[in-house]
């Protein structure tokens, strides 16, 4: 049995109370590990370690900090298969998909480490003679990082690399569903030369470990990826003490198929957007909006792509289980309520059981149609392999339906018209949009985030992530020509 501990001041420690909880493997439903159940005392110790270590870390040059982060990325690359094995076990995804996720974390590490050579500010003239102005970045202090379980090693990388590059120390609250992955990252960070206390990992549940982290006045910035409901609570709690808050929240992302689209490619991409990673992406394409003129043809192609999906945890499978029993039951309940309200479940909607599935948290790829735009299943992020299919008359109706969601994270449109594509880009309310592409798949060097209920406007990663974890300082320098 694996025992997963906290990492505080460079040492792996159990919870101060000695309490633990069990983490179940999504693929089997069996106990995978026993995890430290941390509370306020553990969080206090982690924040104290971070606050003590941070000034010396900030005093190093940003280029030196970048070199250490580059070394972490190199060690991730060296141990790619071992890290991916932990990710696969904790999430239930295939080894192939876990390796791909790990590769994304590695690339993010290399990109952010490179910003140590490009930690740019600006120089500006002044209206006063013999004076110029400049802007420089300053660290915030202690960063509270709260991550989700859907892509655990990538989520750690998205937050830890830019937070540390900017000169902060961090306390990372691990997801209770993927507790070991951040610990593996912390071990590699220590091997790379990251000083003790600069990256601390606290295990446990949100109310017991996350809440004390968000409340603590020593935590200067809180970065959270997760549900909109929890994000609102974090914003309210941290906002009362005027802490900086970065929220990357949910999505109910539209993928529009026009009557001039390549329908075969659109259907293949729609299935990928909706079902890959078991639909556990904030950027999943969970609302498929199709022009009436091609609806029946697209529907047929989509069902063919969906029917070809293989569900399981092996490399031969397209996607695996959802993360836990509670999430699975939430999804099944949402589908049942939609049916009761008159919706049609075209395919899926049931728990998968039998050989290879018993005990695991599996649901087949699910498509629901005949649903209203404002029905629960159309508006609520389910975070599973469930998509709604909508018929519209044309572009204006498609755009209105796409924008009717309370979210605004990502979107996509399939069309051969440059005019339709560009108008959609201009009019869609979303932080990211693709023309003839999926709703997901944004790269490490581009900013990612959303509008409305999808976030607070900050962006991770890209160079824009540095704005989350640093403050700008304006500096004036005056010289005296007579003293030359």
**Are β-strands 142-146 and 219-225 bridged in parallel, bridged antiparallel, or unpaired?**
parallel
Residue of 248, 379, 381, 460 marked active site: 248
Q: Are 347 and 306 a contacting pair, CB within 8 Å?
A: yes
Place of tokens 């992302």: 253
Residue 474 makes CB contacts below 8 A (sequence gap 6+) with 133, 134, 135
**How far is residue 62 from each of residues 34, 68, 167, 236, 420, measured CA to CA in Å?**
38, 10, 7, 32, 44
Rounded CA gap, 22 and 263, in Å?
Answer: 46
Rounded CA gap, 410 and 437, in Å?
Answer: 11
Residue 411 makes CB contacts below 8 A (sequence gap 6+) with 253, 254, 255, 256, 402, 424, 428, 430, 432, 433, 434, 439
**Are β-strands 31-36 and 122-125 bridged in parallel, bridged antiparallel, or unpaired?**
unpaired
Q: Are 466 and 445 a contacting pair, CB within 8 Å?
A: no
First CA to last CA distance, the chain: 72
Distance of CA 337 to the CA centre of its chain: 28
Quick one: which of 209, 184, 226, 213 has its CA closest to 90? Answer: 184
Place of tokens 């735009």: 373
208 catalytic, yes or no? no
User: How many CA atoms does the CB half-sphere of 60 hold within 13 Å?
Assistant: 22
Residue of 258, 282, 305, 379 marked active site: 282
Please, what sign has the CA dihedral across residues 392, 393, 394, 397? negative
Rounded CA gap, 466 and 376, in Å?
Answer: 37
Q: Are 54 and 68 a contacting pair, CB within 8 Å?
A: no
282 catalytic, yes or no? yes
The set of catalytic residues is 248, 282
């Amino acid at each position: 049995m694996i025992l997963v501990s906290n990492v505080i001041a460079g040492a792996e420690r159990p919870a101060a109370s000695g309490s633990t909880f069990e983490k179940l493997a999504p693929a089997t439903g069996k106990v995978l590990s026993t995890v430290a159940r941390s509370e306020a005392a553990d969080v206090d110790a982690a924040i104290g370690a971070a606050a003590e270590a941070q000034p010396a870390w900030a005093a190093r040059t940003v280029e030196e900090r970048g070199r250490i982060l580059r070394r972490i990325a190199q060690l991730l690359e060296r141990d790619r298969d071992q890290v991916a094995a932990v990710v696969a076990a904790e999430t239930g995804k295939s080894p192939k998909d876990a390796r791909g996720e790990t590769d994304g974390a590695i690339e993010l590490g290399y990109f952010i480490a490179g910003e140590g050579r490009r930690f740019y500010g600006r120089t500006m003239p002044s209206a006063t003679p013999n004076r110029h102005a400049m802007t420089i970045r300053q660290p915030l202090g202690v960063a509270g990082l709260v991550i989700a379980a859907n892509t655990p090693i990538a989520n750690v990388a998205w937050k830890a690399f830019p937070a540390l590059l900017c000169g902060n120390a961090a306390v990372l609250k691990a997801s209770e569903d993927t507790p070991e992955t951040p610990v593996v990252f912390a071990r590699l960070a220590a091997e790379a030369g990251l000083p003790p206390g600069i990256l601390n990992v606290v295990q446990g549940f949100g109310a017991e470990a996350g809440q004390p982290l968000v409340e603590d006045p020593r935590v200067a910035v809180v970065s959270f990826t997760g549900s909109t409901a929890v994000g609102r609570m974090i914003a309210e709690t941290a906002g009362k003490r005027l802490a900086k808050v970065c929220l990357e929240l949910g999505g109910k992302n539209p993928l529009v198929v026009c009557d001039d689209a390549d329908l075969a490619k659109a259907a293949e991409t729609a299935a990928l957007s909706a079902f890959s990673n078991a639909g556990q992406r904030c950027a999943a394409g969970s609302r498929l909006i199709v022009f009436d003129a091609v609806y029946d043809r697209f529907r047929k192609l989509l069902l063919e792509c969906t029917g070809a999906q293989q569900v399981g945890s092996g490399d031969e499978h397209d996607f695996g289980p959802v993360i836990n029993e509670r999430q699975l039951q939430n999804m099944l309940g949402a589908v049942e309520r939609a049916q009761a309200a008159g919706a049609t479940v075209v395919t899926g909607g049931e728990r998968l059981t039998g050989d290879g599935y018993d005990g695991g948290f599996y649901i087949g790829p699910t498509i629901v149609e005949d649903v209203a735009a404002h029905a629960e299943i159309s508006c609520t992020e389910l975070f599973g392999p469930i998509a709604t299919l909508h018929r519209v008359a044309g572009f204006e109706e498609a755009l209105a339906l796409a924008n009717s969601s309370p979210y605004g994270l990502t979107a996509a449109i399939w069309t051969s018209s440059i005019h339709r594509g560009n108008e959609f880009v201009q009019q869609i309310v979303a932080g990211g949009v693709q023309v003839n592409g999926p709703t997901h798949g944004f790269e490490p060097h581009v900013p990612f985030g959303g509008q409305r209920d999808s976030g607070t406007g900050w962006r991770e990663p890209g160079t824009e992530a540095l704005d989350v974890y640093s403050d700008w300082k304006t500096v004036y320098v005056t010289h005296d020509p007579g003293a030359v």
